[in-house]
Amino acid sequence: MRSQKPTHRGPRDERGVVAARILSVARASFAAYGYAGTSLRSVGRDADVDPGLVIYYFKDKRGLLDAALVPPPGWTEAIATAAAAPMRLRGAALVRTMIDAWEAPASEEFLRSTILTAAHEPIARQRLATNFAVHILDAVSSRLDDDERLVRASLAASQIVGLAMMRYVWKVGALAAMPSDQAIALVAPAVQRYLNGKLTGLDQ
Amino acid sequence: MRSQKPTHRGPRDERGVVAARILSVARASFAAYGYAGTSLRSVGRDADVDPGLVIYYFKDKRGLLDAALVPPPGWTEAIATAAAAPMRLRGAALVRTMIDAWEAPASEEFLRSTILTAAHEPIARQRLATNFAVHILDAVSSRLDDDERLVRASLAASQIVGLAMMRYVWKVGALAAMPSDQAIALVAPAVQRYLNGKLTGLDQ
DNA sequence: GGCTAAATTCAGCGTATGTTGAAACTACGT
DNA sequence: ACGTAGTTTCAACATACGCTGAATTTAGCC
């Protein structure tokens, strides 16, 4: 009358499948409840695994967060590609890249957990500043050549971020309800103007 | 050798001063560490008050959150005023109203805690959807008269939200470093175009 | 067929949490 | 003076947390 549940231990993990499952659960939980709101016990429960195993793989709760904030493969390249599109189409390319990332489950998990955890955890914020500022802002601004390229990149990013917040994070308003092609078509011109249009208010 | 600290109980609260202090501390903590990361004990400690008193005033931890998410007086009116500005200046008026709110400590506390808590707490998200969508989107869209007014309001809001995230929440990039007048001048034209310019991609 | 190393579980530690119920203090009306 | 209502503190509860150390199972290697 001890344990009726078939507890079978030992190596049955194939190439880190279990670790990947834990990580996926953790990302979802960080995004949904934040860092403090995520417990190793609940992660273990959702991943059908003992909490100790989470720590066995990720060492720490913080280590789990660190792993959750690593961008998925292809992320950097996708941005670089969009930032290198012909100037005429670059605005639309950037917006489309971002929207595609938000609508693919794998990268959506990463984006959501990063953006939402960055709100509360200084570590996540710094990580986002790196992944975001360095990769995105640099990818965009290094492809521009005038004096205001840093400003232009920031402006373009601000519009894309705003779209993501309204459409995917808060899911509020008309932008959240329309098909993605329409959202891209509506927002791309503004981004494009930021990239190579005339800027107001730089001299005063 | 019992208690050397002068414990003085009894009514020394003047017109809810203590409750206001608790609420202010709570807002700051919600914004900094999130809902789960905020403990009644730490709130009490920072407000120089016993944790039980927090519950005496706000009944629940959730009640404390509820109170923290109530907009400060003047908030709704400020948005309505900006949304009613002459059409030519409306974009700039909206952007300036938001930036002013973020730079005034009282409303900054509210905005920050609302936006950041909305990331993790469904209750806060719904509250933000109400305060934000209903008040802002409606204030803006009810002043427009064409068929796409809901879309126009959402687009304008997305640009303003993006600016707020980059400049005040994440503090990343050129938009975070420049004086506020410059940020307004740079972003206002895009908002203005969303309000009464030509929109792309609505028919296909 | 034992050996080893990796994978997994288990029991338990110290600590912090939200909440409660009662107690203590103060100001004020009578 | 006195009681009463409103504030504030205190002690304690059950629970949940992060993390550790040892135990247990399994798969592959000689």
Segment A2-23, tens digit of pLDDT: 333 345 666 666 668 899 999 9
Q: What pLDDT was estimated at residue B2?
A: 34
Domain-embedded: residue A34: yes
**8 A C-beta contact, residue A173 and residue B149:** no
Domain-embedded: residue B150: yes
Burial of A72 (0-12, 13-18, 19+ CB in 10 A): middle
Percent share of chain A, pLDDT over 70 = 91
Domain boundary among B26, B42, B68: B68
Side-chain half-sphere of A202: how many Cα atoms within 13 Å?
Answer: 13
Nucleotide nearest to A58 (CA to C1'): D19
Looking at the fold, whether B51 and B97 belong to one and the same domain comes out as no
Looking at the fold, whether B105 and B190 belong to one and the same domain comes out as yes
Looking at the fold, whether B112 and B29 belong to one and the same domain comes out as no
Instruction: Give the structural domain span for A108.
Output: 75-196
Cβ atoms < 10 Å from Cβ of B27: 26
Domain-embedded: residue B47: yes
pLDDT beneath 50: ranges in chain B:
1-6
Q: What pLDDT was estimated at residue B52?
A: 96
CB contact under 8 A, A186 and B169: no
Percent share of chain B, pLDDT over 70 = 91
List, as ranges, residues 139-198 from B with C-beta within 8 Å of A: 150-151, 153-155, 157-163, 165-167, 169-176, 178, 181-182, 184-190, 193-194
The average confidence (pLDDT) of chain A is: 87
Examine the pLDDT at A102 and tell me if it is beyond 50: yes
Q: What pLDDT was estimated at residue B147?
A: 82
Determine which of A103-112, A124-133, B36-45, B191-200 has the lowest per-residue pLDDT on average: A124-133
Q: Kindly state the tokens that stand for A60.
A: 């720490």
Looking at the fold, whether A100 and A33 belong to one and the same domain comes out as no
Looking at the fold, whether B172 and B142 belong to one and the same domain comes out as yes
Average of per-residue pLDDT across A167-179:
92
Domain boundary among B40, B68, B96: B68
Q: What pLDDT was estimated at residue A4?
A: 34
Looking at the fold, whether B94 and B177 belong to one and the same domain comes out as yes
| Cβ neighbours for A134, distance < 8 A, ≥ 6 positions apart | none
Give the whole-angstrom CA distance, residue B159 versus residue B156: 5
Looking at the fold, whether A84 and A62 belong to one and the same domain comes out as no
Protein residue ranges contacting nucleic strand C, Cβ under 7 Å: A 3, 5, 7, 9-13, 18, 48-50, 52-53, 56; B 7-12, 38-42, 51-52, 55, 60-62
The CATH number of residue B105's host domain is 1.10.357.10
Rg from Cα positions in chain B: 20
pTM over 0.95: no
Give the whole-angstrom CA distance, residue B172 versus residue A134: 10
Looking at the fold, whether B38 and B100 belong to one and the same domain comes out as no
Looking at the fold, whether B86 and B180 belong to one and the same domain comes out as yes
Domain-embedded: residue B12: no
Domain-embedded: residue B201: no
- Nucleotides on chain D that have an atom closer than 7 A to a protein CB are 5-11, 16-27
Q: What pLDDT was estimated at residue A133?
A: 65
Domain-embedded: residue A2: no
Q: What pLDDT was estimated at residue B14?
A: 66
Q: Kindly state the tokens that stand for B120.
A: 């993790």
Examine the pLDDT at A47 and tell me if it is beyond 60: yes
- CB contact, 8 Å: A134 with chain B? no
Number of independent structural domains in chain A: 2
The CATH number of residue A39's host domain is 1.10.10.60
Looking at the fold, whether B52 and B140 belong to one and the same domain comes out as no
**8 A C-beta contact, residue B63 and residue B42:** no
Domain-embedded: residue A4: no
Identify the three-state secondary structure at position A18: helix
Domain-embedded: residue A142: yes
Looking at the fold, whether A122 and A26 belong to one and the same domain comes out as no
Looking at the fold, whether A125 and A163 belong to one and the same domain comes out as yes
Protein residue ranges contacting nucleic strand D, Cβ under 7 Å: A 7-12, 38-42, 51-52, 55, 60-62; B 3, 5, 7, 9-13, 18, 48-50, 52-53, 56
Average of per-residue pLDDT across A29-44:
93
Rg from Cα positions in chain A: 20
> How many angstroms away from the CA of B184 is the closest CA of chain A?
8
Q: Locate the chain B residue with the closest alpha carbon to A150.
A: B174
Domain boundary among A26, A42, A68: A68
- Nucleotides on chain C that have an atom closer than 7 A to a protein CB are 5-11, 16-27
